[in-house]
Amino acid sequence: MIKIKWFGHAAFSVNIDGKIFYVDPWIKNPLNPSKEIPEEAPDYIIVTHDHGDHLGETIDIMKKHNKTKLISIYEIASYVAEQIKAEERVIGANIGGPIDLGDGYKVILTVAHHSSGRGNATGTVFGREGKYVYHAGDTGLTYDMKIIGELYKPIVALIPIGGHFTMGPMEAAYATQMINPKYVIPMHYKTFPIIAGSPEEFKKYLDELKVKVELIILKPGEEVKLEV
């Protein structure tokens, strides 16, 4: 079972067979109907890069829920460890190295073409055999997505479509074709006027390219349960 909640922007809660992952938890983003730190305690927070709209409320969540661990590129992990004064609660890693969480769960930080204040920007693949989710982070289109699709066969891809700082709808449709997931959920759009790409345009390009995928358009705060 995979349950996915979108908080708006690039922020998600993803529950894979009972293990809860938050990615880029900017809970206080303008689209999210609730600005409260969730009562739900994630097992892991994965941060793709340290821009404010992605690091978000990571530190507040980790202070509220003292079992939650952070997974990110080494430099961000070190920074968060200093902030919460708990080195044992961060897992610093680097691009391409599978991180073994036990019980068959793995996290991989992936290439993302973007900037970051600390370390490199990344995307992430996480989950377990047959139930991997790919969150592309903030990125331009990259051929690495083809390898990610072939190697991990993600069931779901969470893809930025807003343009300007990341892929726009056309690039995102091309990315979806390369990744070849069963489901695709667009993100990182319309939070601000400048990231203007829309799910309708994304759909138009998916149709044009004849991409075989189920497009799921979530409203901020909405959750979807996928039987996989």
227 by DSSP, 3-state: which? coil
Q: Closer to Zn ion at the Cβ: 57 or 138?
A: 138
- Name the minimum Å distance from CB 128 to Zn ion: 27
Per CB under 5 A, the segment of 52-60, 85-93, 96-104, 196-204 that binds Zn ion is 52-60
Q: Does 138 bind Zn ion (CB under 5 A)?
A: yes
Nearest distance in Å: CB 165, Zn ion: 6
Of the candidate spans 13-21, 29-37, 132-140, 208-216, the one that interacts with Zn ion by CB under 5 A turns out to be 132-140
Which whole-number Å values give the CA distances from 193 to 163, 164, 182, 189, 197, in the listed order?
Answer: 11, 11, 30, 9, 9
Q: Which is nearer to Zn ion, 112 or 218 (CB)?
A: 112
Residue selected from 22, 32, 53, 184 as contacting Zn ion according to rule CB under 5 A: 53
Phi, psi (deg, nearest 5) at residue 223: -125, 145
Residue 50 in contact with Zn ion, rule: CB under 5 A = no
Reading the block at residue 124, the tokens are 């992430």
Size of site (CB under 5 A) for Zn ion: 2
How does 89-121 read in b/e, with b if 16+ C-beta sit within 10 Å? bbbbbebeeebebeeebbbbbbbbbbebebbbb
SS3 193: coil
CB of 138 to Zn ion, least distance (A): 4
Print the binding letters for residues 139-158 with Zn ion: x by CB under 5 A, - otherwise: --------------------
Alpha-carbon Rg for the chain in angstroms: 16
Instruction: State in angstroms the smallest separation of the CB of 48 from Zn ion.
Output: 9
Report the amino acid identity of residue 114. H
Report, in Å, the least distance between residue 220 CB and Zn ion.
15
- Give the closest residue to 218 by CA, choosing from 176, 178, 187, 175: 187
Binding site for Zn ion (CB under 5 A): 53, 138
